[in-house]
Chain A
Amino acid sequence: MTVLFSTILTLCVLGILAAVILYFVAQKFKVEEDPRIDEVEKMLPGANCGGCGFAGCRAMAEAMVTREDISALFCPVGGAECMKKMATYLGKVAPEKEPTVATVRCGGVCSKRPRTNEYNGTKKCSMAAAFYVGETACAYGCLGYGDCVDACQFDAIKVNPETGIAEVDADKCTACGACVKACPKGIIELRKKWPKNRAVYVSCVSKDKGAVTMKACKAGCIGCGKCAKVCAFGAITVENGVAYIDSQKCKLCRKCVNECPTGAIVLKGMDPLPKEPKAPAAKPAATTEAKPAEKNESVNEQK
């Protein structure tokens, strides 16, 4: 009995002693912190993706609280809504920013871009890109080893095993930009996000001359400039042998889509414009119009 009693007593004394020590230590090393930082952090998505440019959500919250002017800060994951909520809480003005979505600009699927060799090294885009042209003859195209997939924290990008090209799930994409940084070829771009995931973009970044591009990949942009000529909004520029559609200027009029001879301009979430009857040569392309809207994602491949 005495053994039991003394044991309980010792443990109790030890417990109280430890509690007292902990209390004083906690007092001594207490860090004064703005309690609003915790509150703001709770409002952030908590993905710690670094899309804002900070190391994590905590650092972003600190910046939100400490900085007077928060117009340079933006959480791409939470978007405008989250920014507004935090700004209201802090009594600051939230920056306006349009939602964007990551877009993989390469249409060189296996059937269009033949493999010329087999890569037996470590399957990382960064390693293969630093070493050589890649498994196809196109030095600009998607390698398909998925550095972007590794970088994505939202499970929004996948390499399609059939095409060998990364594909973005626009609904999951938060436009944090991690994949843009991870891609050694600079193929991925954050473009304006239209409702219903509509999009028109040039799915090629090859700076090679037209003939060279054509030889390597049948879906490549050859820089012919036909699209730029029909664009009424000055959204299309052709530089270094490759066309580029400015997503801020583009109005989704879709005229350029029908002009592209290689199908490098991709149209998503919409029907293509009907072909004008004056060009009978374009007849086969007209069959694509009949396709239901769901299948339009693969319009460029059918050409």
Chain B
Amino acid sequence: MANKFIIATAPHMHSPLSTQSLMRDVIVALMPALVVSALVYGLSVLYVTAIAVVSCVLVEFLIQKYLIKGASTLGNLSAVVTGLLLAFNLPANIPWWIIVIGAVVAIGVAKMTFGGLGHNPFNPALVGRVFLLIAYPVQMTSFPEIEPVVGGIVDTFSGATPLAAVKSGALSVVDANLGSMFGGFTGGSMGELSAAALLAGGLYMLWRRVITWHIPVAVLGSMAAFAFIVALMQGGGAELYALPAFHLMAGGAMLGAIFMATDYVTSPMTPKGMLIYGVGIGVITMIIRLWGAYPEGMSFAILLMNAVTPLINKYVKPRRFGVITAKK
């Protein structure tokens, strides 16, 4: 017989999806924010991003080859995504060695220690960022002044981010330039600048079905609702709408809700679980922002909810076909 018969159990078709294709889509979705950041802060953005990506990839490669002694896992591009996300959480003027330390912590400690992609309980990029934030608070929170690369329409903030300014009482949310925050011309970490660019990336990922709407909507929705209630209790007025809008666009809200919280490995598996997880992130973020010591709480909130994810997975089950719970 000329033919060799190949035998396998059904299904015999496979979707075009692969881990690599999903990660590639995430990278594409991150590009608008990177471009905005580069336009605002200049070439140093690309420099920081390149160092972060290269060091993440290198750390993963070395650990996989010499400690785990397994086949290379670089092909799944997850190290590139981690590198990009780590870079997005850094100021554009950060020294190169801090980036490398961040990469070692993100990939080496938060990811490969647990066995690599799929096994890490916490979002690697966020672990890296939080480590740097605690270890190098000065470098991590002093942002360069904005170089108005694009024309003169830029509303310059020197140094402090809107969140820090509001925290210290230097700025009232009603006075914050929301349009500028949406567009991306207010200070902050590289990836946090433009809510619009991040939203565009999020829409792309939704369209490509990389993520579902549950987590971003739950995070942003609960943040807005929380801010609205707080403003209501403080007497309303102009803050009633300004406070929610400000918090949605300030700091890492968009980046966190769209790219960080939706990390596959560390987020729940069921739609219901995703909503619980998202609301948890939103509420914790707002509590830290309003009453905590740090101006921004997104990273902490996501890491805290990452820790809850296994519990959510255990107790929150999907809707089973044909099982009517109302009967019980």
Query: Which chain A residue has the least Cβ–Cβ distance from B1?
Result: A116
Instruction: Offer 18 A-B interface pairs, CB within 8 angstroms, sorted by A.
Output: A116-B5, A117-B4, A117-B5, A117-B6, A118-B5, A118-B6, A119-B7, A119-B8, A120-B6, A120-B7, A120-B8, A121-B7, A121-B9, A122-B9, A127-B9, A131-B9, A132-B7, A135-B7
| A130, chain B: closest CB distance, angstroms | 9
The smallest beta-carbon distance between A70 and chain B, in angstroms, is: 41
Bound together, the chains give a CA A119 to CA B4 distance in angstroms of 11
Question: Which A positions have Cβ atoms within 8 angstroms of B?
Answer: 116-122, 127, 131-132, 135
- Provide the bound-state CA to CA distance between A132 and B5, in Å: 13
The CB with the most chain A CB atoms within 10 A, among B5, B6, B7, B9, is that of: B7
Inter-chain CA distance A118–B5, complex, in Å, is 6
- Mark B25-46 against chain A: 1 for CB-CB distance below 8 A, else 0: 0000000000000000000000
Q: Which residues of B (99-138) have their CB < 8 Å from a CB of A? A: none
The interface residues of chain A lying within 8 Å CB-to-CB of B7 are 117-121, 131-132, 135
Q: Point out the residues of chain B lying under 8 angstroms from A135, CB to CB.
A: 7
Q: How far is the CA of A9 from the CA of B317 in the complex (A)?
A: 49
Distance in Å: Cβ of B7 to nearest Cβ of chain A:
5
CA distance A94 to B9 in the complex (A): 49
Contacts of A119 in B (CB 8 A): 7-8
Tell me the bound Cα distance from A119 to B5 in angstroms.
9
Separation in Å of the B3 CB from the closest CB of chain A? 10
User: What are the residues of chain B within 8 A of A131 when measuring CB–CB?
Assistant: 7, 9
Residues in B neighbouring A122, C-beta threshold 8 A? 9
* CB neighbours of A116 from chain B (8 A): 5
**Main DSSP-derived SS at the A contact region:** loop
Binary per-residue interface labels of chain B (1-27) against chain A in the complex, 1 for a CB within 8 Å, 0 otherwise: 000111111000000000000000000
The B interface is mostly helix, strand or loop, or mixed, namely strand
Mask, B198-223, CB within 8 Å of A = 1, is 00000000000000000000000000
Report yes or no: B5 in contact with A121, Cβ–Cβ below 8 A. Answer: no
The CA of A127 and the CA of B234, in the complex, are separated in Å by: 64
- Chain A nearest CB: distance from B6 CB in Å? 5
Chain A residue numbers with a CB within 8 Å of B9 are: 121-122, 127, 131
CA–CA, A132 to B8, complex, Å? 10
What A residues does B4 contact at CB under 8 A? 117-118
Give A122 to B9 CA distance when docked, in angstroms.
9
Chain B residue with the shortest CB-CB distance to A116: B5
Instruction: Find chain B residues with CB under 8 A from A127 CB.
Output: 9
Which residues of chain B have C-beta atoms less than 8 A from A120's C-beta? Answer: 6-8
Complex CA gap A131/B6 in Å reads 13
Q: A117-B7, A118-B7, A121-B8 are in contact. List 15 more A-B contacts (CB 8 A).
A: A116-B5, A117-B4, A117-B5, A117-B6, A118-B4, A118-B5, A119-B7, A120-B6, A120-B7, A121-B7, A121-B9, A122-B9, A131-B7, A131-B9, A135-B7
A293 CB to closest chain B CB (Å) equals 41
> Whose C-beta in chain A lies nearest to the C-beta of B3?
A117
A95–chain B nearest beta-carbon distance, Å: 44
Residue of A nearest to B12 (CB): A120
Shortest C-beta distance, A131 to chain B (Å), equals 5
How many angstroms from the CA of A120 to the CA of B9 in the assembled complex?
8
Complex CA gap A131/B12 in Å reads: 14
Which residues of A are found within 8 Å of B5, using beta-carbon distances?
116-118
Q: In whole angstroms, how far apart are the Cα atoms of A200 and B8 in the complex?
A: 37
B1 to chain A, nearest CB (A): 9
Report the bound CA distance from A127 to B5 in whole Å. 18
Q: What is the chain B residue whose CB lies nearest that of A122?
A: B9
Report the separation of the CA atoms of residues A121 and B9 in the bound assembly, to the nearest whole angstrom. Answer: 6
How long is the Cα–Cα vector from A122 to B8 in the complex, in angstroms?
8
Give bound CA distance, A87 to B41, whole Å.
81
Docked pose: A120 CA to B6 CA in angstroms: 6
Q: Interface centre among A118, A127, A132, A135, by most B CB within 10 Å? A: A118
Q: Which residues of B contact A118 (CB under 8 A)?
A: 4-7
Cα distance, A135 to B9, chains bound together (Å):
13
A132–B7 CA distance with the chains assembled, in angstroms: 9
Question: For A120, A127, A132, which residue has the most chain B Cβ atoms within 10 angstroms?
Answer: A120
**Measured CA separation A116–B4 after assembly (Å):** 8
CA of A178 to CA of B9 in the docked complex: distance in angstroms?
A: 27
Question: Which chain B residues border A132 with CB–CB below 8 Å?
Answer: 7
Q: State A135–B6 Cα separation when bound (angstroms).
A: 10
Q: Which 8 A-B pairs have the closest CB atoms?
A: A120-B8, A117-B5, A121-B8, A121-B9, A120-B6, A118-B6, A117-B7, A119-B7
In the complex, chain B residues whose CB is within 8 Å of the CB of A121: 7-9
The distance from the CB of B14 to the nearest CB of chain A, in whole angstroms, is 12
CA distance A261 to B9 in the complex (A): 37
Give the docked Cα–Cα distance between A48 and B44 (Å). 60
Q: How far is the CB of B216 from chain A (nearest CB, A)?
A: 36
Q: Closest Cβ of chain B: how far from A282's Cβ, in Å?
A: 35
Cβ of A207 to closest chain B Cβ, rounded Å: 22
Smallest Cβ distance from B154 to chain A, in angstroms?
Answer: 51
CA distance A127 to B9 in the complex (A): 9
CB neighbours of B8 from chain A (8 A):
119-121
- When C-beta atoms are compared, the residue in chain A nearest to B5 turns out to be A117
Report the Cα distance A205→B136, complex, angstroms. Answer: 70
Nearest Cβ distance between residue A264 and chain B, in whole angstroms? Answer: 27
Q: How far is the CB of A217 from chain B (nearest CB, A)?
A: 18
User: How far, in Å, is A213 (CB) from chain B's closest CB?
Assistant: 21
A128 CA to B32 CA in the complex, in Å?
Answer: 49
| Residue from A117, A132, A135 whose CB has the most chain B CB atoms within 10 Å | A117
Closest to A120 in B: B8
**What residue of chain B has the Cβ atom nearest to residue A133's Cβ?**
B7
Kindly state the separation between the CA atoms of A64 and B304 in the bound complex, as whole angstroms: 48
A127–B7 CA distance with the chains assembled, in angstroms: 12
Within the complex, the shortest CB–CB distance from A141 to chain B, in Å, comes to 16
A186 to B8, CA, bound (A): 23
